Structure 1
């Protein structure tokens, strides 16, 4: 490569900080960091800098936190940096078309899916929830559409039956950091080949909500366990246990049984001490084995420990949930 690139980095959460960290260890020169304004956090609601800002300040990088990049002042500031490229990873602000064309090589996005699958806000969780067996990162040339730009480089990783949202997030964060460094190294020489996305293959990863965490035990066990893993560590799957909310952190699908020996969906069945066996599926003939859960005011615990402390709350025959039929 003839010379290091002048890079503007734009990102906010931990996922983005991994890419910034990788760039800091590369030959490229970061001329500025853009991140979301400090937000209230914690019980005291104190203004807290983003993970990207914290890392940038540790390395004495100039940090900019505009509320928008649509203003003439913000765009003039970016122009004055004379950057070769802008790297964007989970920034949280829309980049207007005027900004996309300012750097010499435009803006590259570190996206946490194998595009065109899972465009949008929550690609990591939606991939696990849908039962995908593979995920990855795509380095994309940003365009005016939502994750519709040409693909420049991909790196992939498997999704197994034990992969959680947190596991995949951390793995993709590291993979994304390595991939963006590789992409920038190749940008000048030998160059990167751009591949258009096939629109007919695109899927959309809608934003997560806390309400989605409520489990519908009329669904098959495999779908429920995938959702539980996807929503770990946020928003965390849950169900009603009497008057309390039981948060469920990990579960595995069990073997199907005859409907004649099953309770209605959500019924606690007799099970080993290391799991809570729950009937599920439309007729209650499927089983879900909850392995880790959390009661209000407590910590997530293995079911064996939860039973030892609160065994009287998990009686075979009682039902979890609100007992309403699901529509999925």
Structure 2
């Protein structure tokens, strides 16, 4: 085809010498159709040669829904861990014949309502809670599944599908055997509260269980000077902090930079544990002890829950399985 117009199934049928119905049966792999293998191959070869791509709108009409899952990202930095999760979700949905399309709410992104109206997804998966009005509008428009990984959906309170509290608890238990006062390095980006607060709650819970003081919480910016201020405050406390649980590895690396700026070192002056096991964690000076999690299992579990909900199945209320461990290095 060279006239610049979109190739249609009629073009494929004409070139292959078959009916449009046959083209539809072959390309959609319709069951119970007695079509010779040679005819099937001819249709596939013709479609590939002409560059035929089935219309998404037509497919949606035929199936009753699109094959798109719209992923809604908050205004978070898209760095190593989030980027890895997006790729794993993309792969996990693809295994179920679904296309994962990601939208970030970072300003000046297109308004969310305009987006889902134009995309008409089969499902929406948000990383944090959705406003009640938005969730109701989506469902009223026929979007079958509206699901969030953290926070509530449409004002319906329920446990997060991916639990963050166990991360803080694991960090605190790792440090508690050698440190009588713990600190918590909180991120300075308010949008991360949905993750940071439950991780801090996990640290607090373990401190209470072990009869340790409540953790000394300091907001730590991603710069050495600001981190040094937090380090000085921890060390100057009435009961000095000697071990710090950091929200993630980036914040933990900032704490290490703050220590270095003051001429101090981990773990001699302050032990530090992070979370996420980013590549730079092993390259830090000293190498950073950190919590790691199996994000691929999380991605597959989330995809399965969306697919099961689309199929009308009852899904469990508890969080998805999240295997945690610690890479013990020299910072603790």
Q: TM-score range by the shorter chain?
A: 0.3 to 0.5
- TM (normalized to structure 2)? 0.34
Asked which structure has the greater CA Rg, the reply is: 2
- TM (normalized to structure 1)? 0.34
